[in-house]
Amino acid sequence: MKLIVKVFGKISEEIGESEFMIEKSDNIASLKSEINTIYPQLKDLKFAIAVNKKLSTDSDKIPEGAEIALLPPFSGG
């Protein structure tokens, strides 16, 4: 089961894509280490992870078919 991960701002620029596919993880912590394996260049970047358009914490479970997004620090306004 794969999930779509949308990426924005500096992260999108860094990996040259606006989204990628990834194997579903149980929770955010394991998703993060998965992402770091695929894209080691993201290791030093600060970002939050949204699950279904809500900010998540490391222990949050990831539901089936969730929409994941990697969000660098906001800079609107």
Q: How much is the CA Rg of the chain, to the nearest whole Å? A: 12
Residue 59: CB atoms within 10 A of its CB come to 8
Question: Count of residues binding other proteins (CB under 8 A)?
Answer: 15
Applying CB under 8 A, does 5 fall inside the site for other proteins?
A: no
Verify binding: residue 63, other proteins, rule CB under 8 A.
no
Q: Does 69 bind other proteins (CB under 8 A)?
A: yes
Contact characters 33-52, other proteins, x per CB under 8 A? -----------------x--
| Other Cβ atoms closer than 10 A to 73 | 10
* Residue 72 CB coordination number (10 Å): 18
Query: For the chain, what's the residue count?
Result: 77
Q: Distance between CA 75 and CA 33 in Å, rounded? A: 26
Stretch that binds other proteins, among 1-9, 20-28, 29-37, 57-65 (CB under 8 A): 1-9
User: Which residues in this chain contact other proteins in the complex, by CB under 8 A?
Assistant: 6, 8-10, 13, 50, 53, 69, 71-77
